[in-house]
Amino acid sequence: MHLPEPRGPLSEALFRNLAAGTLAPGTVEQAERVTPDDPMRDDDLQISLAVLYELHYRGFSGVPDAWEWDPGLLGLRAVLEQRHLDALRDRTGPIAVTDEPVDRQLAALIAADDGPSLSSFMAKQGTLEQWREYLTLRSVYHLKEGDPHTFAIPRLGGRAKAAMVEIQADEYGGGSLVRMHSELFGGLMCDLDLDSTYGALWDDAPAAAFASVNTMSLFGLHRRWRGAAVGHLTAVEMTSSEPSRRYSAGLRRLGYGERTTVFYDEHVEADAVHEQIASVDMCGSLVAEQPDLLPDVLFGAAASLAMDAVAAEHLLGAWAAGRSALRRERPLAA
């Protein structure tokens, strides 16, 4: 994977430094001066943070692996993370914590969510080109399916850890390459004439795509946010089954069969099972052992819902205005 195109002065300076193998003086100070009105929609900030996180995943061609733990880059990342966290808290707002069991609190949080339903739109009226744009945005996450949450596994113990492993094992196909969810998503992309190569569509994806994955990476890579990582994963599992059914219906409406819909069909069944494992076994066990993490668990779940809303608002807003939701024209697969 090559470094993506810069999207502003911050990413331009960062990518130039990474390619040159040296962090120029003043780079961190430049990041500290970045104060966008809405960090979640700021392309420059989100692509910079995504590249810094990607050093912990698969890295980039021409960028030495040693950069992963460079103190200067970690300092730069901390500045951008704080901008991201502040914006995330603004979007989630205050979250009530009660004495109810955590699974009930999570269910109430999800029930109160009033974000736009992207899956309903895609099921009933999404065009083929809108589907391609949606998949381009989602590819930033789904081609690394499970990896951001998996970072949290060694930060847990006991039943909570075992429950997360059980869930993540299914994400990775139970050890079968062809059943890995990232592979299934890649097949879906190919069927819709999209390039499924890891990272190939980063330059086309908007800030909203990276804001979502950056939230997961932030939670997974910091022990301090292990509770939020657990809450985020749980919200994903609790809100995935019915939307997946609708996404599958949308593809069938356009004439695609089981070979194409298998990614969503798999989530209809798997996530219905995962919901109880995540909310009761994983979250319940974690909070029972570490009650002080309950607010973080709820914050992680609220963050998941907020990021879904950011993506839906971006896509549906662009389409309602009669324009593409991507940064540039979509390339066809080779």
Please report, in tens digits, the pLDDT of each residue of the chain (334 residues total). Answer: 999 999 999 999 999 999 988 887 777 787 788 788 899 999 999 999 999 999 999 999 999 999 999 999 999 999 999 999 999 999 999 999 999 999 999 999 999 999 899 999 999 999 999 999 999 999 999 999 899 999 999 999 999 999 999 999 999 999 999 999 999 999 999 999 999 999 999 999 999 999 999 999 999 999 999 999 999 999 999 999 999 999 999 999 999 999 999 999 988 877 678 899 999 999 999 999 999 999 999 999 999 999 999 999 999 999 999 999 999 755 444 4
Q: Looking at residue 329, what is its pLDDT?
A: 59
The pLDDT score that the predictor gives to residue 230 is 98
* 98-320 CATH pick, 1.20.910.10, 1.10.10.10, 3.40.50.300, 1.10.510.10: 1.20.910.10
* Range list of H helices, the chain: 9-20, 27-32, 43-54, 71-92, 102-111, 118-124, 128-142, 147-150, 158-171, 181-191, 207-221, 226-238, 241-253, 258-276, 285-289, 294-320
Q: Give this prediction's pTM.
A: 0.94
Query: Do residues 228 and 299 make contact, with C-beta atoms less than 8 angstroms apart?
Result: yes
Over pLDDT 90: what percentage of the chain? Answer: 88
Q: Which residues contact 110 (CB under 8 A, 6 or more apart)?
A: 235, 238, 239, 301, 305
For 100-145, write each residue's pLDDT tens digit: 999 999 999 999 999 899 999 999 999 999 999 999 999 999 999 8
Question: Is 53 in contact with 220 (CB distance < 8 Å)?
Answer: no
Tell me the CA distances in angstroms from 314 to 38, 181, 198, 261, one per residue in order. Answer: 13, 25, 23, 24
Instruction: Output the pLDDT for position 272.
Output: 74
CB 18 within 8 A of CB 63: yes
d(CA 124, CA 122): 6
Contact 61, 37 (CB under 8 A): no
Spell out the domain ranges in the chain. 9-91, 98-320
* Distance, first Cα to last Cα, the chain: 16
